[in-house]
Chain A
Amino acid sequence: MYSILIVDDETSIRMMLLDYLEDKYEVHTAENAEIGLRFCRERGFDMVISDVNMPGMKGPEFLNEVKKLHPAARTVLITAYNIDNYVRLARQFSITNIIPKTSPFNFTELDLLIDGLLTRNIFGLSRYLLPGYTPLGKFCVRSSKEAKDVREGITALLIEKLGTAGNMKLILDEIITNAVYHAPAFPDGTQKYQEFVDVRLEPDEFVHLECGYDSEKYGIAILDNKGRLTKETVLYKIDRQITGEGILDDSGRGIHMSRLFSDRMIINIAPKSKTEIILMNYFSHKYRGYKPLYINEL
């Protein structure tokens, strides 16, 4: 059984997480970072979930200390505040997962995040949709010409089946462009294709898309088989866009905009092997609010 330590000064949050997780995991709680660290010196945990704002030591510093004691421990932050304000801190302490405290709390999402991080089973759209979800189709982009057809095909399909496609057309444009032009590289690591130039991809460079929906949301997964993206790059780019420093950056705006214009963006990375971006929109406003940060790198 995996072990999880929860650190939060808000009792109701600690109890809520404990009650929810204790049937599946061995759960311990602490009300501040100092007590949490004392536990971590005595024993290891597979995962430590910590609040950001606590009296005494703050969450990011605390998780950093935990990492020093147990490098293999998965670390997650949780906060009621605007996560965008913490992306810089997250980058500094290489934390890639921040959960928003919402009301109602999104337990389904918590389940997926914890399970994915612990089991390292992160790929595939079906993981992120509720059991019994409806698949809408699979698509493959083999050339830059096909990118437009696929993008418009998916948007039209969503509108036909669900009556809405949110801002997916805009986002797909950014993400597919990234996958087609920025993922493939020469052996020396330099970018293989230039943007705005017609390209035909090699079979191992094809971009695969999948789309489906469940009772509360719909989602699209975009997978490239190169995996050039790293969590550092993603954090760097998002941070520069949030702070406005990257306003003139050539790249990075796409990822930032996709996170902004979808309800959920999950980035799964198997280094040098594949990158998957999962985009999801909820049908109702229930879980909207601050955007989480979900970057999983194996």
Chain B
Amino acid sequence: MALLISLSACALLFACALGLSYAVISLKRKKTGLERTLTALEEKSDTQLANKIKLSKQQLETTFDAITDYICAIDAEFTVMRVNKSYADFVKAPIRDIIGKHCYEVFWGLKSPCERCPARKTFASAAPVFKQHFTLRTVAGVRHFDIGTYPVAPGEGKPENVIEHIRDVTDERSILEQLIRSEKLATIGTMTAGIAHEMINPLSGISGTVTNMLQLPHKYGLNEKGKQRLTALRDAAARATMIMKDLLHLSRKEDATTILTDINAIIMKAVNAVQLKGFPPLEYKLMLDQSLTMVLCDPLKIEQVIINMVTNAVQSIVEKKNTLTLQSVQYSGLIIISTQALDEMVRIDIIDNGAGISEDIKSKIFDPFFTTRAPGEGTGLGLSLCQRIVEEHNGRILVESARGLTTFSIVLPAQPNSASIIL
């Protein structure tokens, strides 16, 4: 067989295999080489050898179709000779409709070949081209591809056909981007911890000194204007301290102090704490599963998470109320908090009918410093802190915002030392 088909040096095994398979078909179609040999062999009644070749062909075709990357063979005019199943699935057309068309039309929706077309290079040089990056804008968003082209040349000289191997790397890229981002955040975290400590020291001095001056203004020769300015300074220092403390919490790696805790009790406490903050009254509906098992967790931290989320829910309702003031729309804020015992897990849902979270910011809400609130109303660190805490407990936070309801779900394993929750 090797004598019949000469393949140029292919880098990738599957490309070789496909080249071989393709060549078998193309030769068969042209009723030359292989076909004649096969007929001759069959005539010689060497059916055993013929069956072996058929099997080999089937194996290669199956392999070709099993590959999830997109593969096509084209000629020097960019006419598609053959594609695998994944290719046809991607362009959403049956294989028979694709063959005979130009690859740039079928795959890329273009009227002429791409300027950077790697196949063109391979046709010219008879050498493979690896990992060329291309993007394609589709209705579902931008997809990223790595493309390799491999020559199929019988004997020396120019290739007759080129195998195009197209790999969708969109998901890989987004995972990589996330990794780079979280690594950057970790470095920033270590740095901020150092900075925050150094800042808290002078901030304490500033706010303490200002407090002294406001307590005994005449001792410092202060008039009313001076007192006003100092009050503003004191508030500014308090705000800066708040940010520093949140940052420290975020960057600190500490072991949770876990004890068996009644989650329902924590929720009652958290709701009380939020109500004490002086928000306008609104309706709370608690649907607490009384069969909930005790959860091994750090109660202070979980309480912090719930307070944070309930506060967010309240603020979201206040926000919605403010946008509705001009219209005579009947709206009353509602917060539903429910607990639910799942298999070895406990789920806490905090649902509000407030302003909601739009799809475009949903992926950002857990980023440090991301906030939709006015400066001074929040540090933008709340949700990233919550996520940190829940992840320390091997739990997960899920967010859903649709049809006017926003749900934050906290799922905690009853025993955090058991395997992480996979959702």
- Do the two shown chains form a genuine complex with each other? yes
Contacts of B234 in A (CB 8 A): 104
- Is B211's CB under 8 angstroms from A163's CB? no
Interface residues of A in 261-287 (CB under 8 A from B): 261, 283
Contacts of A257 in B (CB 8 A): 257, 259
Contacts of A107 in B (CB 8 A): 208, 211
- Is A80's CB under 8 angstroms from B211's CB? no
CA distance A108 to B276 in the complex (A): 24
Interface residues of B in 265-297 (CB under 8 A from A): 269, 272-273, 276
Q: How large is the interface on A (under 10, 10 to 19, 20 to 34, 35 or more residues)?
A: 20 to 34
Contact of A19 among B200, B209, B240, B276 (CB under 8 A): B209
| Residue A102 at the chain B interface, CB threshold 8 Å | yes
Interface residues of A in 186-240 (CB under 8 A from B): none
Binding stretch for chain B, among A7-15, A58-66, A111-119: A7-15
- Is B197's CB under 8 angstroms from A102's CB? no
Q: Nearest Cβ distance between residue B220 and chain A, in whole angstroms?
A: 9
Contact of A101 among B204, B238, B257 (CB under 8 A): B204
Number of contacts between A and B (CB, 8 Å)? Answer: 77
Contact of B272 among A102, A103, A164 (CB under 8 A): A164
Q: Nearest Cβ distance between residue A226 and chain B, in whole angstroms?
A: 28
| Residue B187 at the chain A interface, CB threshold 8 Å | no
CA distance A289 to B249 in the complex (A): 10
Contacts of A167 in B (CB 8 A): 299-300
Contact of A103 among B197, B200, B255, B276 (CB under 8 A): B200
Q: Which of B204, B206, B255, B259 has the most CB of A within 10 A?
A: B204
B interface residues, tally (CB under 8 Å) = 29
- Is B211's CB under 8 angstroms from A105's CB? yes
Contact of B241 among A11, A81, A103, A170 (CB under 8 A): A103
- Is A105's CB under 8 angstroms from B208's CB? yes
| Residue B212 at the chain A interface, CB threshold 8 Å | yes
- Is B212's CB under 8 angstroms from A13's CB? no
Q: Nearest Cβ distance between residue A130 and chain B, in whole angstroms?
A: 15
Chain A: CB-nearest residue to B252: A82
| Residue B245 at the chain A interface, CB threshold 8 Å | yes
- Is A104's CB under 8 angstroms from B208's CB? yes
Q: Nearest Cβ distance between residue A59 and chain B, in whole angstroms?
A: 13
Chain A: CB-nearest residue to B240: A103
Chain B: CB-nearest residue to A12: B205
**What are 18 A-to-B residue pairs whose CB atoms are below 8 Å?**
A10-B205, A12-B208, A13-B202, A15-B209, A16-B204, A16-B208, A16-B212, A19-B209, A19-B219, A80-B201, A102-B204, A103-B204, A103-B207, A103-B238, A104-B234, A105-B208, A260-B257, A283-B276
State the B residues within 8 Å of A (CB): 197, 200-209, 211-212, 219, 234, 237-238, 240-241, 245, 255, 257, 259, 269, 272-273, 276, 299-300
